[in-house]
Chains A and B, each alone.
Chain A
Amino acid sequence: MSDIKIKVQDYSGDVQELEAPTDMGLSLMEFLKANEYPILATCGGMALCATCHVKVEEGMDSLNDPGDQEMDQLDLLPNAEFNSRLACQLRLHPDMDGMLVRLAADEE
């Protein structure tokens, strides 16, 4: 079974647990959009707009390090913290099972 469980906290504070496939090559951004979360994804997933900014409340250690482009964008954000990531740069992976992310783009 390639599905994992991810918890998502939206802007109203509600947390929903969702099943996410890891065998479709989806990014977390694409998965959140498909589940009707309000992610603008202005740049289409190129780490250029930060509208998919999330804070990884649990499971940060299971993620790959951000690349240069993502770091550039995160560096610009006034509300970024140590656990900030751009969802478009996180490809869904079995290691992410149990991750909790909080939507953060609207905080700006």
Chain B
Amino acid sequence: MIQTDICIIGAGPVGQFAVFEAGLLKLRCHLVDALPQVGGQLSEIYPQKPIYDIPGYPTIKAQELVDNLTEQIKPFNPTYTLGERLDTVEKTATGFNLKTSDGTEIDCKVVVIAGGLGCFEPRKPPLKEIANFEGKGVSYMVKDPELFRDKNVILAGGGDSALDWTIELSKIAKKITLVHRNETFRGAPDSAEKVFELAKEGKINLLLKSNLESISGNGKLNSVKIKGADKSEMEIEADYLIPLFGLSPKLGPIADWGLSIHKNQIEVNTTDYSTNVPGIYAIGDINTYPGKLKLILCGFHEAALMAQSAFKHIYPDKHLSFKYTTVNGIESF
């Protein structure tokens, strides 16, 4: 069980900076993110794009901003649970108990939701039955390649993930089929070339201009029907189907926590960015209020005000005197 002062849901730039503001007030933070890395939208969607509206930086690449923030919050020793989605938040006598999709438990006094536009979830192919086979043959990511050794595996997609995993798994799987809607791949040319080579050598089954049509099985995946551009259909035996169509953000479990939500965003009080549940705050793109701008710099400001309020929530009897870092420096934990 992880115990901390503040559990921050979302390790994007605003969640990261919240660690700094909380740290100045000697509050410890634990961050949870469904992505396997910190940085949120910046690291996941546009790491190499320049950002022009971070104060003090005429231009800064998104990943560089994330790296700078990681450095900036190091003195406050934040801890992380990455690659796990925060599923439940429950009130306790001392604050909140949180559980992730993988069963990790966190006890904290305050919850700060810095979830951006929601949790990045894999894009699912529009197959009616797919939900029934998730975890029973359908996987949206490859966590342990060994699972696929000597198995019949179908991968679908045309980006780098689909190409890379086709190449890797072709070395250990019994049979690999790659299904892609187009004739060419938008992923890295070298990888695409390697996949074509593997197909020529008969080491993989490459089905271009084709789409997943349906899946079937009895309690576990058995086969996948694939439709070609010429409307022909074929049914292929499969132990595993791995659709790799990228990630897209969804509000997810946040919608079930009793918070006041308007158009996929959490309504907050602009005095301190608190939600309708005492002890739960929302900062960054995930919140909404009259005049809200979805800018990183606004999230930074919201983090600063939130931290002051979080301190008073945790220590209602303690006096909080405002200190400038230029005068007092930063006290590492």
Contacts and interface: CB of A to CB of B under 8 A. Distances in A.
A71 to B, nearest CB: 6
Contact of B246 (A43, A46, A76, A105): A76
Contacts, number: 61
B45 A43 contact: yes
B87 to A, nearest CB: 21
B158 interface: yes
A13 interface: no
B124 interface: yes
Nearest to A72: B186
B186 A48 contact: no
A76 B123 contact: yes
B46 A46 contact: yes
B263 A75 contact: no
B126 interface: yes
Interface of A: 38, 40, 42-43, 46, 48-51, 71-72, 75-80, 105, 107-108
A48 B249 CA distance: 12
B11 to A, nearest CB: 17
A42 B264 CA distance: 12
B49 interface: yes
Given A51-B248, A76-B158, 9 more contacts: A38-B263, A43-B46, A49-B45, A75-B185, A75-B186, A76-B246, A78-B123, A78-B212, A108-B123
Interface in B249-303: 249, 263-264
Given A48-B45, A76-B159, A40 B117 contact: yes
25 contacts: A38-B263, A40-B117, A40-B249, A42-B41, A42-B249, A43-B45, A43-B46, A46-B49, A50-B248, A51-B249, A72-B186, A75-B158, A75-B159, A76-B158, A76-B186, A76-B245, A76-B246, A77-B123, A77-B245, A77-B246, A78-B125, A80-B181, A105-B248, A108-B124, A108-B126
